[in-house]
Amino acid sequence: MVLEAVATAVWAMLPAYVPNNVAVLAGGGRPIDGGRTWGGKRVLGDGKTWRGTAFGIGVGVALALALDVVAGDVGSALGVDLPGFPIAAALALPAGAMAGDVGASFLKRRTGRERGAAFPGVDQLDFVVGALGLAAIAAWGWFGDVFTPAVVLAVVVLTPMLHVGTNVIAYQLGLKDEPW
């Protein structure tokens, strides 16, 4: 059923979606690469900071645990059986999302893109690949139960739309320097 797949996809990915937005709000301070360069370019750039990454992961984990508390009530209101988050998944989804975003910045710098440059496709799906990849490694059984082919399809279709939408809003609110 389409509603079930969409609801499960959004629910299961919330702990992976929120860290990026939290990092935008919390970012600043020392960059992860400490200003180091590789081949004449920054390793990651000033847009990947310890503070943004730590707050992003922390809030993502807290959100997963909070969703666990309300999954039963929200699920019965929607008439959908929503998944819970075992601790391995609650950690892996936000950590994987942030790792995917950091990995994308590494690729952006290697391909000559300055901080903030758009990298269509990569910008919208880097954190999905990171989150799903790490969750699959850390919580394989749970991952297989939750991320059926229909749910994965819903994630791949919906995420770019949600990502573009939230970033345009963050840009218009003056929270982000570019609308991507």
CA 173 centroid distance within chain? 20
Tell me the β-bridge partners of 42. 37
* Bridge partners, residue 16, by sequence: none
Of 52, 83, 96, 100, the residue at the interface with ligand CTP (CB under 6 A) is 52
Any bridge partners for residue 37, and if so which? Answer: 42
CB of 54 to ligand CTP, least distance (A): 9
| Contact pick of 5, 6, 47, 128 for ligand CTP (by CB under 6 A) | 47
Q: Any residues with CB less than 8 A from the CB of 167 and at least 6 apart, and which?
A: 176, 179, 180
∠ CA 144-65-103, nearest 5°, is 65
115 belongs to the binding site for ligand CTP (CB under 6 A) = yes
Nearer to ligand CTP, 42 or 84 (CB): 42
The answer to whether 48 contacts ligand CTP (rule: CB under 6 A) is: yes
- d(CA 153, CA 112) in angstroms, rounded, equals 31
Distance, C-alpha 114 to centroid of its chain: 21
* Cβ-based nearer residue to ligand CTP, 8 or 21: 21
Cα separation of 22 and 27, whole Å? 8
Rule CB under 6 A: say whether 146 interacts with ligand CTP. Answer: no
Nearer to ligand CTP, 14 or 150 (CB): 14
Q: Does 179 bind ligand CTP (CB under 6 A)?
A: no
Q: By CB under 6 A, tell whether 23 contacts ligand CTP.
A: yes
Q: Is the dihedral of CA 179, 110, 94, 5 positive or negative?
A: positive
Among residues 6, 12, 24, 139, which is the contact residue for ligand CTP, using CB under 6 A? 24
Residue number of the CB closest to ligand CTP reads 52
Residue with tokens 């929200």: 74
Using the rule CB under 6 A, is 98 a contact of ligand CTP?
Answer: yes
Residues that bind ligand CTP (CB under 6 A): 23-24, 27, 45, 47-49, 52-53, 98, 101-102, 105, 108, 115-117, 176
